[in-house]
């Protein structure tokens, strides 16, 4: 049985079957967002299809975000103003926080183990660079997963 509603089905199916590069339009429409040029490019250029080399290395594909109940969104655990963008394969996500102006102005590390989140930057690029360099910074940090790198946590 198909559980997608007609508008969501047409968004996901039209964008995936047509091979269009305008995923950002569908994401904007679904979540009522005004995406920055950086995030439009993230979704439309296919960068979100590649795996990274840091802890957060599993991007949420736009098609995943357009289904009726995206698995990457954890209702009741995640704050209602975040959109998962890149996961670590262990349940944690780099999420965009949605502002009152319907823009994503902050990227946070959402930790599934307690629902806590930490600011990681104002742009996705900043958050990814910070994540890549965080292990090299001095000081004490929580145990980070290295699922994507194949390293012990």
Beta strands 82-87 and 93-98 are antiparallel
Q: Which of residues 51 and 106 earns the better pLDDT score?
A: 106
Residue 57, SS3 per DSSP: coil
* Cα Rg of the chain (Å, integer): 16
Q: What are phi and psi of 141, to 5 degrees?
A: -130, 165
pTM of the model: 0.78
Q: Are 93 and 55 in contact (CB under 8 A)?
A: no
Question: Residue 53 — very low, low, confident or very high, per pLDDT cuts 50/70/90?
Answer: low
> Does the structure show a pLDDT above 80 at 144?
no
Per-residue model confidence as pLDDT tens digits over 78-134: 999 999 999 999 999 999 999 999 999 999 999 988 888 999 999 999 998 888 887
Q: How many CB atoms lie within 10 A of CB 119?
A: 12
Which helix (H) or strand (E) element contains residue 40? helix 37-44
Q: In the prediction, which pLDDT does 51 show?
A: 67
Q: In the prediction, which pLDDT does 3 show?
A: 42
Q: In the prediction, which pLDDT does 140 show?
A: 56
Only one residue has tokens 């969104």, namely: 73
Cβ-based neighbours of 125, under 8 Å, separated by 6 or more: 38
């Amino acid at each position: 049985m198909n559980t997608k509603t007609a508008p969501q089905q047409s968004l996901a199916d039209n964008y995936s079957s047509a091979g269009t590069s305008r995923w950002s339009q569908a994401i904007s429409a679904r979540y009522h967002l005004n995406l920055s040029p950086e995030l439009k490019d993230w979704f439309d250029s296919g960068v979100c299809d590649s795996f990274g080399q840091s802890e957060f290395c599993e991007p949420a594909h736009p098609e995943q975000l357009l289904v009726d109940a995206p698995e990457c969104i954890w209702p009741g655990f995640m704050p209602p103003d975040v959109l998962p963008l890149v996961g670590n394969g262990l349940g944690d996500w780099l999420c965009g926080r949605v502002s009152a102006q319907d823009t994503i102005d902050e990227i946070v590390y959402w930790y599934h183990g307690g629902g806590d989140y930490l600011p990681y930057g104002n742009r996705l690029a900043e958050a990814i660079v910070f994540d890549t360099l965080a292990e090299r910074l001095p000081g004490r940090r929580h145990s980070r997963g290295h699922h994507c790198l194949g390293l012990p946590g």
